[in-house]
Structure 1
Amino acid sequence: MRDVSGTSARASCWRSTRRACATAGVGRAGLGRPDWAPLVVLATGQFLVVLTTSIVNVALPTVSDGLRLSEQGQAWIVNAYGLAFGALLLVGGRAADLLGRRTVLLAGLGLFAAGSVLAGSAPTAWLLIAARALQGVGAAALAPAALALVMVLYPAGAARGRALAVWGAVSAVGGAAGVLLGGLLTEALGWRSVFWAPVPVTVLVVLGCLRYVDRDVPRQAGGGADFLGTAAVTAGLVALVLGVSGAGRTGWLSEAVLAPVGAAVVLLGVFLVVERRTARPLLPLRLFGTGTVGPANLAMALLGAVWVAMFFFLPLYQQRVLGYDPLLTGLAQLPLAGANALASWATPHLAVRFGARRTQTAGALLLAAGLLWFGRVPTDGSFAADMLGPSLLAGAGLGIAFVRLTAQAVEGVAPADAGIAGGLVNTTRQLGGVVGLAFLSTLATARTDTAPTDLTNIQALNEGYRLAFTAGGVLTLLNALLIATALRRSAARRDSLVTTGDHRS
């Protein structure tokens, strides 16, 4: 006899699964299509975000010559992207939850492409900086939406671990590919080509998204949008980045720094009060008590600080101290990128074999060792003796730390909050990068300015770079301590909940 009840139960289960996936925004991409196709599309979007952060670094001296930019003007080409990106990531993440992740992803890609075209055509420095800000606005929409789609398409466990490993490897390749591609394009076609380069890739991502990532079901806002919270956090983050970015020029205790930073503290305080009281907050504060979301985001901020600084100072050392041309500078990043990508891919397997806490702590220690080794680079250094070793250590450590912290930052988060969780972890990484770069740049400039008078200009520059790398290594050691402590406490809390039978999230 046919097992009619079993068949009926299976059919009912299948219908329930389809309804659950539609509610979470998975659609057919997670069920009826090859599961690698959406991941390739979404990871390529992440690749664009990271590529655009690093592709300009090698070209900065050439851009400066072409548009007659000062040192501060060069910094703003980097900071304008980071400012818009970091300030609007939370808004982009919550918009993805409420309006639909694919919809927000496509809108972000459109803005990103428009900014890239404008940057490549910019006749003046100010228009170039504005175009970089528009790129940042687009990235603030596409990055959290793409990560949220990955979270709902690939369930917690082995599938998500593999997806995040790909995510980390692509991020690693994007950072190094930006430096390499920046060198190749600057050398062959001029600096404008580095801004045009993302456009065809963006078009391909849009087409892939339309083909392989189905439209998800938006979550209705219900109580209305959190306009006051959105305005407060956006203005607060803008003020914070503006204040910190000026520290290298005017000093940390100047009015130009203290005034916007003070305004940022007030605005972010208002934001926290609003989020506690509103029915539909932009950033539900309960997220920080979910799993390891809170400590993971703090650790990600510290990781972002040394990540951005390393990719900023390393090309400068290679070009200004060692005299590398843009192409050779780009090629010199390949070992770091290779180690980063391989470590990212291996991280889920390492976490299973050795445990999440040991793997994550080891990654931070490897990164710290690489940075401290970079802190000893001589003025007449060679690649094989002075850069290959620390590049491999730092690359591997960065890959492990990034993948594990991303996983920890979304652990236990409900599908309805996937977008804002993705926006939050990207925000902390980006803001950490802006603040860290400003802090380490100030240290490097101060060391160069106060170097002994018997040193040459190149030697004085190198003293500043060495201090920046060393300080980054020290910050990473503190991060390793934070990671080990936070994960130990999290494990103890989880064991306590299991023991007492309290399974609340």
Structure 2
Amino acid sequence: MRPTLSDATPLTGTTSSTRRRFAALVLLCFASFMMILDSEIVILALPSIQNDLGLDPSAAQWILTANAITFGGLLLLGGRAADLLGRRRVFMWGMALFLITSLVSGIAWSGEVIIVARALHGVSSAMLVPSALSILMNTFREGKERNRAIASWSAVGGVGATAGLLLGGTITTGLGWQWVFLVNVPVVALVMLISPFVLDESWDRNRVRNFDIAGAVTITVAATALVYAISNGPALGWGSAPIIALFAAAILLLGAFVVIEARSAAPLVPLRFLRLHTVKSGNLLMVVVAMIVWGASVLFSLYTQQVLGYSAVMSGFATSVMPVAAVFGAYIGQAFITKRGFRVVAGIGLLGFGVCCLLLSRIPVEGQYFRDLFVALGLFGLSLGVAHTTASIVALTAVPEPESGLASGLSTASFQVGGAIGVALVTTVSVTVSRGSTALPDLTKGFQAAFIALVCAAIVGLVIALTLPRKAVAQAG
């Protein structure tokens, strides 16, 4: 069943429609830039927030954890809401909540207030990301045209991450941590003002707007339990009662979700959708890519700061070559997909990850930036751009338009879950090998072993890459 689009701009044809689509892409990428910038800056501002609000380390960590849990847990619901209620409408609601939570975070007078605000910020992100990506899918024709748009979307992630690393310390030191949040307010307001003029509304008018409440509650609680268990497993112990209980609850709830969806007249996630080859393989690849990216990013930060003695700001500058290289990798990846198909390009990206992590598994205690890190970080960034763009394109290929919001939410959820697994993996391996020692040789051995674990993950990714379609589907454009 094809959706009926309201106020839709033709995908091809007039110069004015081309300009409008370009304006829509710029706006969507800018919104993505703001969300990623916000996430990166908050990490760097966390010590200042902790000191000013008098939070102990465990409470301060909840500023990040609360956001991650609500974001990861609500992505599928946010994507389906965009399909049923209107993609532009849900995008605007998400931007409005983003504005409110930024304002409240900036004027927060206690730790409890900022933690609640960041949890609500996760809700806004769960509305914004899938709705924005599904608008992009419905604005650009599948194939070369959409591949370029997705490459731009992925490249903006690298730019946002770089800007966060470079600006976070500067804003916090110069203006105070409050401005990390307050700077969002006028920018988000401007995006909300422009959005109705450049974004088209779309939804499936032929489908009854009936939410699968049972399915939504089940998958949200399951995803929340899974993300929380993975994120806290290294700290609490994988064999601890709370972690085992959370994993058991997640498994039981996922099983219940499948049963509910099979019997529902209007399922949140139709099981036929999950049987699409591109959806299955693309999201599996996205999980592995996220594992490697998040895991390596944590190791870069820990090694430069704990072993080489860099400050947080200096570490941000040192690793900024990675997201900059990812911008180039994204555009290289989409160009080769058009010519060579999914399988070859994904294989190149995962091979690059494996080689890079193998090089980094030899990092010395007395490392030098240009000798031991610079080339590896650049290669890692190129591989990131290629692999993430490929996984995104595959996961969104051959998806029916009425399911585009759901597909976008699932792709983003796969990245979040994979990232949590990657962080847990490198943390567990490094702490186990170093035996909790803070001596620099022991810390370095732990980081080396963690990079070897990521090499193994890259090998798994290569196997998944072999299951991808040899040629990209519908390369019109």
TM-score by length of 2: 0.91
Higher mean C-alpha displacement, 349-358 vs 428-437: 349-358
Q: Could you tell me which residue of structure 1 aligns to residue 439 of structure 2? A: 457
Instruction: Give the 3 Å change call, closer, same or farther, for CA 297–209 of structure 1 in structure 2.
Output: same
Residue 123 of structure 2 aligns with an amino acid whose one-letter code is V
Q: Which has the larger radius of gyration?
A: 1
Q: Could you tell me which residue of structure 2 aligns to residue 14 of structure 1? A: none
Do structure 1's residue 167 and structure 2's residue 153 form an aligned pair?
A: yes
Please list, as runs of the form range in 1=range in 2, the aligned pairs for 1:149-168 lying within 5 A after superposition. Answer: 149-168=135-154
Q: Could you tell me which residue of structure 1 aligns to residue 344 of structure 2? A: 358
The percent identity for this pair of structures is 34
Do structure 1's residue 273 and structure 2's residue 259 form an aligned pair?
A: yes
Residue 284 of structure 2 aligns with an amino acid whose one-letter code is L
User: What is the deviation of 1:331?
Assistant: 1.9
CA contact (8 A) 1:291 1:412 kept: no
CA contact (8 A) 2:341 2:472 kept: no
CA contact (8 A) 1:233 1:268 kept: yes
Do structure 1's residue 215 and structure 2's residue 201 form an aligned pair?
A: yes
Which deviations, in whole Å up to 9, do the C-alpha atoms of 1:127-157 show, x marking residues without a partner? 3322221111100001000110111110112
Please list, as runs of the form range in 1=range in 2, the aligned pairs for 1:353-502 lying within 5 A after superposition. Answer: 353-451=339-437, 457-484=439-466, 486-487=467-468, 490-491=469-470
User: What is the deviation of 1:221?
Assistant: 4.6
Instruction: Give the 3 Å change call, closer, same or farther, for CA 122–472 of structure 1 in structure 2.
Output: farther
Higher mean C-alpha displacement, 360-369 vs 171-180: 171-180
Do structure 1's residue 180 and structure 2's residue 166 form an aligned pair?
A: yes
Q: Could you tell me which residue of structure 1 aligns to residue 9 of structure 2? A: 28
User: What is the deviation of 1:278?
Assistant: 0.7
CA contact (8 A) 1:85 1:136 kept: yes
Please list, as runs of the form range in 1=range in 2, the aligned pairs for 1:188-203 lying within 5 A after superposition. Answer: 188-203=174-189
Q: Could you tell me which residue of structure 1 aligns to residue 331 of structure 2? A: 345
Do structure 1's residue 43 and structure 2's residue 29 form an aligned pair?
A: yes
User: Partners of 1:317 and 1:63 in 2: how far apart?
Assistant: 24
Residue 469 of structure 1 aligns with an amino acid whose one-letter code is F
User: Partners of 1:467 and 1:185 in 2: how far apart?
Assistant: 35
User: What is the deviation of 1:77?
Assistant: 3.0
CA contact (8 A) 1:57 1:312 kept: no
Which deviations, in whole Å up to 9, do the C-alpha atoms of 1:283-325 show, x marking residues without a partner? 1121122241101111111211222233333223322332223
CA contact (8 A) 2:152 2:330 kept: yes
CA contact (8 A) 1:58 1:315 kept: no
Q: Could you tell me which residue of structure 1 aligns to residue 130 of structure 2? A: 144
SS across alignment from 2:364: coil
Q: Could you tell me which residue of structure 2 aligns to residue 7 of structure 1? A: none
User: What is the deviation of 1:189?
Assistant: 2.7
User: What is the deviation of 1:483?
Assistant: 1.2
Instruction: Give the 3 Å change call, closer, same or farther, for CA 84–478 of structure 1 in structure 2.
Output: same
Unaligned runs of 5+ in 1: 1-19, 495-505
Q: Could you tell me which residue of structure 2 aligns to residue 5 of structure 1? A: none
Higher mean C-alpha displacement, 88-97 vs 425-434: 425-434
Do structure 1's residue 320 and structure 2's residue 302 form an aligned pair?
A: no
Q: Could you tell me which residue of structure 2 aligns to residue 332 of structure 1? A: 318
Instruction: Give the 3 Å change call, closer, same or farther, for CA 123–373 of structure 1 in structure 2.
Output: farther
CA RMSD in angstroms comes to: 2.4
Do structure 1's residue 282 and structure 2's residue 263 form an aligned pair?
A: no
Which deviations, in whole Å up to 9, do the C-alpha atoms of 1:380-402 show, x marking residues without a partner? 22221111111111100010111
Instruction: Give the 3 Å change call, closer, same or farther, for CA 378–78 of structure 1 in structure 2.
Output: farther
User: Partners of 2:24 and 2:36 in 1: how far apart?
Assistant: 19
Instruction: Give the 3 Å change call, closer, same or farther, for CA 360–24 of structure 1 in structure 2.
Output: farther
User: What is the deviation of 1:376?
Assistant: 2.6
User: What is the deviation of 1:58?
Assistant: 3.0
User: Partners of 1:381 and 1:302 in 2: how far apart?
Assistant: 28
User: Partners of 2:471 and 2:313 in 1: how far apart?
Assistant: 50
CA contact (8 A) 1:344 1:396 kept: yes
User: What is the deviation of 1:414?
Assistant: 0.9
User: What is the deviation of 1:118?
Assistant: 2.3
SS across alignment from 1:422: helix
Higher mean C-alpha displacement, 107-116 vs 274-283: 107-116
CA contact (8 A) 1:26 1:153 kept: no
CA contact (8 A) 2:299 2:426 kept: no
User: Partners of 1:383 and 1:295 in 2: how far apart?
Assistant: 37
Q: Could you tell me which residue of structure 2 aligns to residue 244 of structure 1? A: 230
Residue 213 of structure 2 aligns with an amino acid whose one-letter code is F
Instruction: Give the 3 Å change call, closer, same or farther, for CA 380–127 of structure 1 in structure 2.
Output: farther
Do structure 1's residue 259 and structure 2's residue 245 form an aligned pair?
A: yes
User: What is the deviation of 1:492?
Assistant: 9.8
User: Partners of 2:81 and 2:155 in 1: how far apart?
Assistant: 27
Instruction: Give the 3 Å change call, closer, same or farther, for CA 459–123 of structure 1 in structure 2.
Output: farther
User: Partners of 1:96 and 1:58 in 2: how far apart?
Assistant: 32
Instruction: Give the 3 Å change call, closer, same or farther, for CA 199–90 of structure 1 in structure 2.
Output: same
Higher mean C-alpha displacement, 55-64 vs 243-252: 55-64
SS across alignment from 1:332: helix
Instruction: Give the 3 Å change call, closer, same or farther, for CA 367–78 of structure 1 in structure 2.
Output: farther
